[in-house]
Structure 1
Amino acid sequence: MPALPVISPITLDSYLGWPHMHYVFVVLCVFVVVYKLTILLAKRREALRNFQAFPGPPPHWLFGHVLEFKQDGTDMDKVVKWGQEYSYVFPIWFGPFLSIIIVQHPDYAKTILTSSEPKDDFAYRFVEGWIGNGLLVSEGQKWFRQRRLLTPGFHYDVLKPYVKLMSESAETMLDKWESYASTNEPFELFKHMSLMTLDSIMKCAFSCYSNCQTEGGTNAYIKAVYDLSFLIDLRLRMFPYHSDLIFHLSPHGFRYRKARQVALSHTEEVIRKRQEALKEEKELGQIQAKRYLDFLDILLFARDENQQGLSDEDMRAEVDTFMFEGHDTTASGLSFILYCLACNPEHQKICRKEIMEALHDKETMEWEDLSKIPYTTMCIKEALRLYPPVPGISRKTTKTVTFCDGRTVPAGSVVGIGVFGIHRNASVWENPNVFDPLRFLPENIAKRSPHAFVPFSAGPRFVLT
């Protein structure tokens, strides 16, 4: 009987042919890249076609207008100049594929701000990992519900006690400044302002006395908030970090995740302890009879028409949103108010006299005194006009939007409201770069569009978000 041939087992390597599989993988990658590139090129052609009615500064074919921004303190002025050249509505390109229509006139801004168009999801997605789906980034019915539940937290009766708390924080900051008064040496103002506003928000939001102005470097939560704010801003400015994968693998991504965990754990612990402390309380009035209400009290007792409150996740998102939105922008606004008064000592002198008269031998301002300082209020508004804490906001259109001159932008377009540009629009403001508080006399306000001054936005997203 003839011997049977020996049959060797077919190895995976010989069956699949790994060298051949490498070629298949390369071809697949090339196909994906070409496919993605084709889609992006189609979007670019569509954007160029849609924006033909909006002339603007000529972009570089690859970098767009990115190279025009030197980050030397003149970028905002450059955009204002472009607005003057291109009728206050023009496209800016960030690379070859991303374009934004910039609006720098109140009549065009009104069209967007009075609509229900959602916020642009490009920039805001970077903060969502920390603050969750809170009032800043939510939209639709969730946003309407959250805003309705949070609005009572900003009632005058709730805010009045905060004046004393903020005065205490300001006094702590001024005590620190005493050490600089005798040296005649300059110092960085914003850092002090930022700690002061953070201290105020911690008291008003959590009833938490963190001592962050004197111990800012040792408080883990305070450090985490600063790290997160810095890293989110860094990610927005660095194009490679727009990729979730690249940012996740980077040292900055590791630092972000570590800081986020500290911040989230702190907020969750604060909420848990407050829930435990208020377990026996049934009404806000019972708490208010014992002490002032803070933001967390409002969140815990908020109920909608179905008597449903906020989930723990929603409460955490709103507290973190309040922390993120509140301290940095407030510090920026206050810093520039003092800068404007320092540059215009004649107005500073009037404000000082007015405030001293309102104080009338008292140490600090009270709620009732705020109506007694109209000139100071006008100076504050003029500083916010020249240096808005949020120089621009954006919306993404869900339908075709028609501007006041008949020009349209299609659904899916990103429209940027250039708050800085609107506030320095020479067709709206006479001598726009001059500090002139009298612009805000009642008779002068009546002559302008209500959308000519929008440091806190306008329309449905006004004030809160």
Structure 2
Amino acid sequence: EQENLLKFTSPRNIHSWICAQQLLHTRTSFRQDGHDLEKIMKWSGQYPFAFPLWFGPSLSILNVHHPSYVKTILSTTEPKDDYAYKFFIPWLGDGLLVSAGQKWFRHRRLLTPGFHYDVLKPYVKLVSDSTKVMLDKWEVYAKSEESFELFKHVSLMTLDSIMKCVFSCNSNCQTDSGTNPYIQAVYDLCHLVNVRFRVFPYHSKAIFHLSPHGYKFRKATRIAHSHTAEVIRKRKEVLKIEKEQGIVKNKRYMDFLDILLSARDEHQQGLSDEDIRAEVDTFMFEGHDTTASGISWIFYNLACNPEHQEKCREEILQALDGKDTVDWEDLNKIPYTTMCIKESLRLCPPVPGISRKLTKPLTFFDGRTVPEGCIIGISIYGIHMNTTVWENPYVFDPMRFLPENVSKRSPHAFVPFSAGPRNCIGQNFAMNEMKVAVALTLKKYRLIKDPQHIPKMIPQVVLRSLNGIHIKIKPVENDL
């Protein structure tokens, strides 16, 4: 396999550099210091289609960052790679994120109705309600005009939203005092999965288990599982009562958790408790943490680009026409805001990279072939910043997403939700949530950049900032 990857040119001495550093358990070439993405982009500029990386003596990855290559990979149903994604399994189980083959296909087909148009429609009001709770809490920052960190607030809002929408569970997580234990557990788990992948000795289950990081991982996993188990327990009780009263039969559409609990195959067998928990753990994480990242970076980018922020605000005020909430019909009335959201997702994709493992040889458009068993790393950030695809890629320019400009590009030039058969099942829910959050926020507040706190992007499971994402806010009605 490595002989095949040597056909692809790579950064000078990167093979021995990464191997030596990881085997010695000192420092890796990717240090999570806020400069990792710069390093990737430097190499991407030298090798505009793909380049191989070696992690340790036995793990090689072909890093891909061009739409033509990505199209070839994502058009298939190749599974997630079983090397990096296996580190998620103790936390997320064998859910939709990591499962493969017939199990993935069955679960994907089973869960798709949970994100049907008619199911998503009433969610808009629920997300509006959650967003307004967050914005009311921000009044203290508007009065003080002090800088504050966004991500923790937005994470609570998106958790509140996913609990209400997808799991039919009223949550008080935004108003409860103190740090939310589930939010903290997810943050720790994302960090620890990333650490485990980067530190070669931790690839051993025994070594990781005995390490301080392994202990912290198990503790955080217990907290996350306890949270989702309680959600499942409460919903089972409600469904039991609804079934007795005949309420379920009168509902045209069921939400995500209802589908999981009520599903039956051709033999009238339901999902196992293990499968249900795996999918709930997966969607609880993916449904709030990735969206929180997206919204936080959108707010930051709008704060950095006040002229675009003002255009969005004018459009939003006209669309809402004095209303203090967002309705389903309003979502299509804010095209410029939608373009700004997409441009932020291009600059700051919530999931900066994904990977696949080939079950058969794959040939790219230029004739180069990679063998069965090869791991393909798809750099979503690298695709979005590829200078052969995007002119001035570091400039915030929402006009890139005008229909006439989109039609000139490959559909695989912009893939914040992946693409193809294994794309993000919840992408429409996520986009709707982002639109609602941006609309209500810009209606109430002006977002202002804090020059004292420039975020340093770090590519973990979710795109985060090493030093947080800080902004200042000012009430719109007082900005005269």
* Whole-angstrom CA distance in 2 between matches of 1:103 and 1:222: 32
Alignment map for 1:78-97 (pairs within 5 Å): 78-97=39-58
SS at match of 2:356: strand
* Whole-angstrom CA distance in 1 between matches of 2:129 and 2:253: 15
**Cα RMSD (Å) of the superposition?**
2.5
* Whole-angstrom CA distance in 2 between matches of 1:222 and 1:380: 24
Stretch of structure 1 that moved more, 363-372 or 425-434: 425-434
Stretch of structure 1 that moved more, 303-312 or 239-248: 303-312
Where does the alignment leave 5 or more consecutive residues of structure 1 unmatched?
Answer: 1-45
Relative to the length of structure 1, the TM-score reads 0.84
How far apart are 1:81 and its partner, in Å? Answer: 2.1
How far apart are 1:63 and its partner, in Å? Answer: 3.5
CA displacement 1:230-289 (0-9 Å, x = unmatched):
433333343333221122112332233233234324433432443343236569993486
CA displacement 1:324-357 (0-9 Å, x = unmatched):
2221111111111111111111100000011111
Change (3 A) 1:142 1:229: same
Q: 1:119 aligns with which of 75, 80, 90?
A: 80
Checking the alignment, whether the CA contact within 8 Å between 1:104 and 1:419 is kept in structure 2 is yes
Stretch of structure 1 that moved more, 454-463 or 248-257: 248-257
Higher relative CO (Cα under 8 Å, sequence separation at least 6) belongs to: 2
Q: 1:177 aligns with which of 113, 138, 145?
A: 138
Q: 1:139 aligns with which of 83, 100, 109?
A: 100
What amino acid is aligned across from residue 9 of structure 2 in structure 1?
P
Matched, 1:368 2:329: yes
Alignment map for 1:376-395 (pairs within 5 Å): 376-395=337-356
* Whole-angstrom CA distance in 2 between matches of 1:284 and 1:304: 24
Matched, 1:444 2:405: yes
CA displacement 1:357-404 (0-9 Å, x = unmatched):
111111111111000000000000011011111111111111111000
How far apart are 1:414 and its partner, in Å? Answer: 0.8
The structure with the greater share of residues assigned to strand is 2
Matched, 1:55 2:16: no
What does residue 18 of structure 2 align with? 64
Checking the alignment, whether the CA contact within 8 Å between 1:283 and 1:301 is kept in structure 2 is no
* Whole-angstrom CA distance in 1 between matches of 2:315 and 2:11: 46
What does residue 236 of structure 2 align with? 275
Change (3 A) 1:423 1:221: closer
What amino acid is aligned across from residue 38 of structure 2 in structure 1?
D
Change (3 A) 1:452 1:406: same
Checking the alignment, whether the CA contact within 8 Å between 1:216 and 1:223 is kept in structure 2 is no
What does residue 217 of structure 2 align with? 256
- Identity among equivalent pairs (%): 68
* Whole-angstrom CA distance in 1 between matches of 2:216 and 2:196: 12
* Whole-angstrom CA distance in 2 between matches of 1:331 and 1:367: 21
What amino acid is aligned across from residue 421 of structure 1 in structure 2?
G
Checking the alignment, whether the CA contact within 8 Å between 2:48 and 2:386 is kept in structure 1 is no
CA displacement 1:160-197 (0-9 Å, x = unmatched):
12111111111111112111112222111111111111
What does residue 117 of structure 2 align with? 156
* Whole-angstrom CA distance in 1 between matches of 2:166 and 2:229: 14
* Whole-angstrom CA distance in 1 between matches of 2:305 and 2:266: 51
* Whole-angstrom CA distance in 2 between matches of 1:442 and 1:284: 49
Q: 2:163 aligns with which of 199, 202, 209?
A: 202
Stretch of structure 1 that moved more, 437-446 or 177-186: 177-186
* Whole-angstrom CA distance in 1 between matches of 2:155 and 2:387: 32
How far apart are 1:78 and its partner, in Å? Answer: 2.0
SS at match of 2:343: helix
* Whole-angstrom CA distance in 2 between matches of 1:397 and 1:97: 16
Stretch of structure 1 that moved more, 101-110 or 228-237: 228-237
What does residue 235 of structure 1 align with? 196
Checking the alignment, whether the CA contact within 8 Å between 2:168 and 2:235 is kept in structure 1 is no
* Whole-angstrom CA distance in 2 between matches of 1:284 and 1:424: 55
Count of residues in Structure 1 that have an aligned counterpart in Structure 2: 419
What does residue 339 of structure 1 align with? 300
Q: 1:75 aligns with which of 36, 47, 67?
A: 36
What does residue 442 of structure 2 align with? none
What does residue 388 of structure 2 align with? 427
SS at match of 2:355: strand
* Whole-angstrom CA distance in 2 between matches of 1:168 and 1:411: 49
CA displacement 1:42-99 (0-9 Å, x = unmatched):
xxxx51x212320010235644276443433222122122122123211112234322
Where does the alignment leave 5 or more consecutive residues of structure 2 unmatched?
Answer: 22-27, 427-480
What amino acid is aligned across from residue 84 of structure 1 in structure 2?
G
Change (3 A) 1:327 1:269: closer
* Whole-angstrom CA distance in 2 between matches of 1:435 and 1:60: 32
Relative to the length of structure 2, the TM-score reads 0.81
What does residue 190 of structure 1 align with? 151
* Whole-angstrom CA distance in 2 between matches of 1:282 and 1:449: 48
How far apart are 1:302 and its partner, in Å? Answer: 3.0
SS at match of 2:219: helix
Alignment map for 1:25-36 (pairs within 5 Å): none
* Whole-angstrom CA distance in 1 between matches of 2:30 and 2:85: 21
Change (3 A) 1:402 1:186: same
Q: 2:319 aligns with which of 338, 343, 358?
A: 358
Change (3 A) 1:236 1:210: farther
